[in-house]
Amino acid sequence: MIRAADAWNRFWFQPVETSTFVLFRLAFGVLAVGYTISLAPALFAFYSDDGILPAQPNYSGTLAWGLLGWFPSDAAVLLFYFLLLIGAMALLVGLQTRIAALVFFVCLISFGRRNPWVLNSGDLLVQVLAFYMLFMPAGLAVSVDRWLKDQRGLWDFPARLIWPLRLVQVQVSILYVAAVWAKVRGVTWNDGTAVSYAFRIEDIARFPVPGFVTDSLVLANLLTFGTLAVELSIGILVWNRVLRPWVLLLGVGLHLGIDYAVRVGFFSYAVLVAYVAFVPPETARAIILGMRDRFTRITLPGWAPLARRSEE
Amino acid sequence: MQQRLESSAAGRIAISVFLLFTIFSLVVWNLPSSEIKRRSLKVVRPYITLTSLDQNWGVFSPDPRRISIDIEARVRSADGSERTIRVPRGNDLYGAYWDYRWWKWAEWIRQDSQNQLWKPAALWFARRAASEGANPTEVVLVRRWYDLLPPGPGPSRGPWHEAPFYTLKLTPAEEEGAG
């Protein structure tokens, strides 16, 4: 019993430096800004009374909530959109990070609840990650919050408990195991033709996939069974320290391939953001400091390098 | 506040309860349809709904669609003319990051079980036509599709089919609203 409690504590409550939290915030911030911008072209078509769904679905008897159900007007759509955008940008730069995460989450869910018929799995994953973001101490470094409090400590990463990152890690594992479980009940995932069909659905096709890939039964089999193998590997082997980088690398390849061929919106990028939760703190620190060093070497025309200017 | 919670024994117990229940909820939510899921959802669903952790990882499952689809609206105007309006589509590079939501909607709207979406859709297409200078009096929603054939030798797809599935004759009030 005591050993189980120790293992539980080690897994969830181990202190780690916050570099991975910060890297997650930066990645999620970029995703959040891009996602918010992508809502603009159809904002009123999807969410206003004159759009394709004149009112929020009736959620009575459930605990589903959404601000646009309570404030159904074009002005509210515009207001919550700008709040969503401000929340996303504030998250990215780490300004009032906790409040920004809350504002982004509340507005994001409100849009999702207002019109669920335009959401795909990627939209749902962005919502889920926004929920986990609420618990992350991600504004403690490389943020406006930290800069305002202690400029010298901007690039220091104080230690915090790992559990919010663990939640994302468990979510990733569940995602893949559930995806494989759902697929193996199908016919085409078993006869090895599923990927050929998926690549040929014209309405959701993106960049062209050569005919020899989709028409060849052997290649279709390899891609179909390969997808299942990669997804199952990530779901299970991601918990093995040695194999983790390799299965995640395979996952990166898989999702970039999907993003190339299929209109899946933000699904691939949301998954890649979730992978950041697995980046070891020392690697996350090296990535962030590497980005800082590259940024400070940038020379704008007529300006001294940013690094020299900051030294002056 | 979170740090204060994390540093006390009671706080860690509270966080542990939250984590256990969250993971239990996620596992239950992602189980295949079964008696154990049906029973457990009674406990889990309120929490999942409240936190918006409802999720669906059944992308292309249990099988990818074996048809390509399209929806079009044929809008007749008072002067007898007809125009066809299609589901919006962006370019492949960055348009794909906003138009996929339209195609998700198209997947839903073509289903008979989603007929509550048809009238608002027809009205929206009428407003689109009006914004292009038409004076719409009738909107016909048409589903179009073709079958994807199995990979291998031979043709990879069948011919386009189409079937009107909803007609809205606009009332004077709706015509005014569309205009």
B157: chain A residues, CB-CB within 8 Å: 200
A177: chain B residues, CB-CB within 8 Å: 30
Instruction: Give the mean model confidence (pLDDT) for residues A167-184.
Output: 98
Q: Does pLDDT of A304 surpass 80?
A: no
Say if the Cβ atoms of B97 and A163 lie within 8 Å.
no
C-alpha closest to that of A197 among B34, B89, B150 = B150
B166: chain A residues, CB-CB within 8 Å: none
pLDDT of residue A306: 57
B70: chain A residues, CB-CB within 8 Å: 203
C-alpha closest to that of A68 among A77, A79, A60 = A77
* Domain map (residue ranges) of chain A: 16-161, 162-279
pLDDT of residue B173: 79
pLDDT digits (tens, 9 = 90+) for B52-85: 999 999 899 999 999 999 999 999 999 999 999 9
Q: Which of B1-5, B16-20, B88-92 has the lowest mean pLDDT?
A: B1-5
Q: Which residues pair with B143 in a beta bridge?
A: B71, B163
Nearest CA in chain B to A195: B64
Q: What is the distance in angstroms between the Cα of B148 and the nearest Cα belonging to chain A?
A: 7
pLDDT of residue A312: 45
Q: What is the distance in angstroms between the Cα of A192 and the nearest Cα belonging to chain B?
A: 10
| Per-residue buried b or exposed e for A104-143, using 16+ beta carbons within 10 Å of the residue's own CB | bbbbbbbbbbbbbbbbbbbbbbbbbbbbbbebbbbbbbbb
- DSSP designation for B112: G
Say if the Cβ atoms of A54 and B52 lie within 8 Å.
no
The whole-angstrom separation of Cα A197 and Cα A194 is: 5
Say if the Cβ atoms of B57 and A178 lie within 8 Å.
yes
pLDDT digits (tens, 9 = 90+) for B99-149: 999 999 999 999 999 999 999 999 999 999 999 999 999 999 999 999 999
pLDDT of residue A311: 47
* DSSP alpha helix (H) spans, chain B: 2-7, 9-30, 35-51, 96-109, 118-131, 172-178
Say if the Cβ atoms of A118 and B101 lie within 8 Å.
yes
Nearest CA in chain B to A186: B62
Nearest CA in chain A to B156: A215
B144: chain A residues, CB-CB within 8 Å: none
**What is chain B's mean pLDDT, rounded?**
95
pLDDT of residue A295: 85
The whole-angstrom separation of Cα A151 and Cα A191 is: 59
Percent of chain A with pLDDT over 70: 96
**What is chain A's mean pLDDT, rounded?**
95
A297 vs B: CB within 8 A: no
A181: chain B residues, CB-CB within 8 Å: 30, 32
Q: What is the distance in angstroms between the Cα of A92 and the nearest Cα belonging to chain B?
A: 20
pLDDT of residue B122: 98
A40: chain B residues, CB-CB within 8 Å: 98
Residues in CB range of A190: below 8 A, 6 or more apart: A184
Phi first, then psi: what are they for B141, rounded to 5°?
-90, 130
pLDDT of residue A308: 53
Q: Judging by beta carbons within 10 Å of its beta carbon (0-12, 13-18, 19+), is residue A21 exposed, middle or buried?
A: buried
Residues 71-130 of chain A whose Cβ lies under 8 A from any Cβ of chain B? 109, 112-113, 117-121, 123-125, 127-128
Say if the Cβ atoms of B32 and A189 lie within 8 Å.
no
The whole-angstrom separation of Cα B75 and Cα B140 is: 6
Instruction: Give the mean model confidence (pLDDT) for residues B153-178.
Output: 90
**pTM confidence score:** 0.95
Q: Does pLDDT of A202 surpass 60?
A: yes
Percent of chain B with pLDDT over 70: 99
* B97 touches A25 (CB < 8 A): no
Say if the Cβ atoms of B52 and A120 lie within 8 Å.
no
Say if the Cβ atoms of A121 and B57 lie within 8 Å.
yes
pLDDT of residue A307: 53
Q: Does pLDDT of A305 surpass 70?
A: no
Instruction: Give the mean model confidence (pLDDT) for residues B77-99.
Output: 97
For an interface test with B, give the residue of A49, A169, A196, A197 to mutate (most B CBs within 10 A).
A197
A274: chain B residues, CB-CB within 8 Å: none
The whole-angstrom separation of Cα A68 and Cα A50 is: 14
Instruction: Give the mean model confidence (pLDDT) for residues A120-138.
Output: 98
B12: chain A residues, CB-CB within 8 Å: 9, 13
Q: Which candidate from B60, B68, B120 shows the least CB-CB separation from A194? A: B60
A197 vs B: CB within 8 A: yes
Residue A216, CB-side half-sphere exposure with 13 Å CA sphere: 9
Residues in CB range of B22: below 8 A, 6 or more apart: A167, B47, B53
A292 vs B: CB within 8 A: no
Instruction: Give the mean model confidence (pLDDT) for residues A3-32.
Output: 97
Give me the total of CB pairs closer than 8 Å, taking one residue from chain A and one from chain B.
192
If one counts every other C-beta atom within 10 angstroms of the C-beta of residue B78, the result is 12
pLDDT digits (tens, 9 = 90+) for A244-261: 999 999 999 999 999 999
The whole-angstrom separation of Cα B27 and Cα B30 is: 5
Nearest CA in chain A to B89: A203
Which of the four pLDDT bands, split at 50, 70 and 90, describes residue A134?
Answer: very high
